[in-house]
Amino acid sequence: MVCRKTADLPRSELLKLSAELEEQYLEFKKRGVKLDMSRGRPAAAQLDLSMGAADNVTNYIGVKGADYRNYGLLDGIPEMKQFFAELLGLDAADIIVGGNASLNLMYDAMVRLMLHGTAGEKPWKDIKKVKFLCPSPGYDRHFAICEHLGIEMIVIPMKEDGPDMDMVERLAAEDEAVKGIWCVPLYSNPEGICYSDETVERLSSMKCAAKDFRIFWDNAYGIHHLYEETKLRNIMESCRRAGNPDRVYYFFSTSKITFPGAGIAMVAASENNRREILRTMGIQTIGYDKMNQMRTLNFLRNAANTREHMKKLASSLREKFEIVLSALEANFAGSDMAAWHTPRGGYFVALDTLPGCARETIRLAAEAGVKLTPAGSTYPYHRDPRDSNIRIAPSFPPCGELREAMYLLCICIKLAAVRKILAE
């Protein structure tokens, strides 16, 4: 589709458009709406579909006779490992079951690398500069971990099939300070991009100057399809095949399958990596909540049942995604004021405004009562170099409110664009 360049419109047309938009904006503002679309939270109606995951647990004696009410089993109950293995096509022996948050497992992994290093290499705290590759736009909480630990972040542009692999390969091969990469390989946060087989293979087999280069594989939306299933190549296998079995930590959780914050997280890793993980884990805790592992499992049961459950969640989410996308389509088809990807799963829609307009768009929306993810959040250090990316989280508000919010957002995108062009 050929985009009409807004900046090329005659000034008279821009002025007319501006006047209309200002009026629409003021009208909306007067209504005193209050909506929060800043985070990817499920709606209450969606959580209602998982109430079985809050049921009481009576089957607390495990397959091997252990009492899950008591201490023991640092790396998780065997039933839960088996479940994750079946669900994700992993090897149960590779899996360590954690607490309620995969983010915490990622943070712990990064802290372990800082304090103790891996594979006999220097702890990262003792290296002058540690750099991480950050495909962007990306997940703000990944970037926050790096920032908190003083790890320098390098922005890697996203393409249709994952991060710009030419750039990733070049930086990994050239610079031994480059110690790893963040990846959300399926329905990336926020754009909903899926890594191609080739991207997975290149990540698994590329030459790295740092012997302790690590891929943080956050498969947060691994079974969160809105439509048909998108296949993701198994990176554990491709790393093994490429002779780099220790390169990847594979994270997953049930936070957006049952309850955010009350789910079960896991990390899969090679034998060497598991030994290191468990050595530190055995210092930090006696064990995670096995009763909640059993509780979650009682509800999800097996992979097939979980996929059926995800279809129910998808049908409640799909309508919301379609509200967002059809509003964008109706307002911006053939315009350069907004560009977006059409995600087939995950939790977000990301759009790009005209350069230099994201912050102002978000400010305008907030002033009229709709809170969005803060501008810049999807980039390292909260610095979106083009000030154009906006993350939309459609999951939380009911459909009516979401329509209202999108109505306002579209006005704000246009208003910010037109004001900017007129001021130039």
Residue 92 interacts with a second copy (CB under 8 A): yes or no: no
Choose the stretch contacting a second copy; rule: CB under 8 A; options: 12-20, 107-115, 160-168, 235-243: 107-115
Residue 57 interacts with a second copy (CB under 8 A): yes or no: yes
Residue 115 interacts with a second copy (CB under 8 A): yes or no: yes
Q: Which member of 20, 22, 33, 47 binds a second copy (CB under 8 A)?
A: 47
Q: What is the DSSP letter of 4?
A: B
Residue 49 interacts with a second copy (CB under 8 A): yes or no: no
CB of 309 to a second copy, least distance (A): 15
Q: Which member of 1, 2, 44, 45 binds a second copy (CB under 8 A)?
A: 44
Lookup: tokens for 154: 């390098």
CB of 114 to a second copy, least distance (A): 7
DSSP-based three-state secondary structure for 390: strand
Mask 223-252, x = binds a second copy (CB under 8 A)?
A: ------------------------------
CB of 179 to a second copy, least distance (A): 16
Choose the stretch contacting a second copy; rule: CB under 8 A; options: 200-208, 260-268, 330-338, 386-394: 260-268
Residue 283 interacts with a second copy (CB under 8 A): yes or no: yes
- Determine how many CB atoms are found less than 10 A away from the CB of residue 120: 8
Residue 192 interacts with a second copy (CB under 8 A): yes or no: no
Helix (H) or strand (E) holding 250: strand 248-253
Residues 59-78 that bind a second copy (CB under 8 A): 60, 67, 69-72
Residue 125 interacts with a second copy (CB under 8 A): yes or no: yes
Query: Which backbone phi and psi does 350 adopt, to 5 degrees?
Result: -115, 140
Exposure on the CB side of residue 389, measured as CA atoms within 13 A: 25
Asked if residue 372 lies in contact with residue 362, where contact means CB atoms within 8 angstroms, the answer is: yes
How far, in Å, CA of 307 to CA of 217, rounded?
21
Residue 209 interacts with a second copy (CB under 8 A): yes or no: no
How far, in Å, CA of 389 to CA of 356, rounded?
10
Residues 126-145 that bind a second copy (CB under 8 A): 141, 144-145
- Number of residues in contact with a second copy, rule: CB under 8 A? 48
Choose the stretch contacting a second copy; rule: CB under 8 A; options: 108-116, 173-181, 304-312, 406-414: 108-116
CB of 39 to a second copy, least distance (A): 7
Residue 104 interacts with a second copy (CB under 8 A): yes or no: yes
CB of 317 to a second copy, least distance (A): 15
**Directed axis angle between helix 303-332 and helix 399-423, to 10°?**
40
Residues 286-305 that bind a second copy (CB under 8 A): 286-292
Mapped to the 3 state alphabet, what secondary structure does 325-379 carry?
HHHHHHHHCCECCEEECCCCECCCEEEEECCCCHHHHHHHHHHCCEEECCCCCCC
Q: Which member of 19, 54, 93, 330 binds a second copy (CB under 8 A)?
A: 54
**CA separation, residue 298 to residues 24, 37, 295, 302 (Å):** 51, 32, 5, 9
How much helix, strand and coil, in percent to the nearest 5, is found in the chain?
Answer: 45, 15, 40
CB of 65 to a second copy, least distance (A): 11
Lookup: tokens for 236: 């554990």
Residue 285 interacts with a second copy (CB under 8 A): yes or no: yes
Asked if residue 375 lies in contact with residue 384, where contact means CB atoms within 8 angstroms, the answer is: yes
Q: Which member of 195, 216, 259, 348 binds a second copy (CB under 8 A)?
A: 259
Exposed e or buried b per residue across 292-327, where buried means at least 16 C-beta atoms within 10 angstroms of its C-beta: bbbbbbbbbeebeebeebbeebbebbbebbebbbeb
Closest CA to 131 of 106, 165, 163, 155: 155
Contacting positions for a second copy (CB under 8 A): 39, 41-42, 44, 47, 50, 54-58, 60, 67, 69-72, 99-101, 103-104, 107-108, 111, 114-115, 125, 141, 144-145, 148-149, 259-262, 280, 283-292
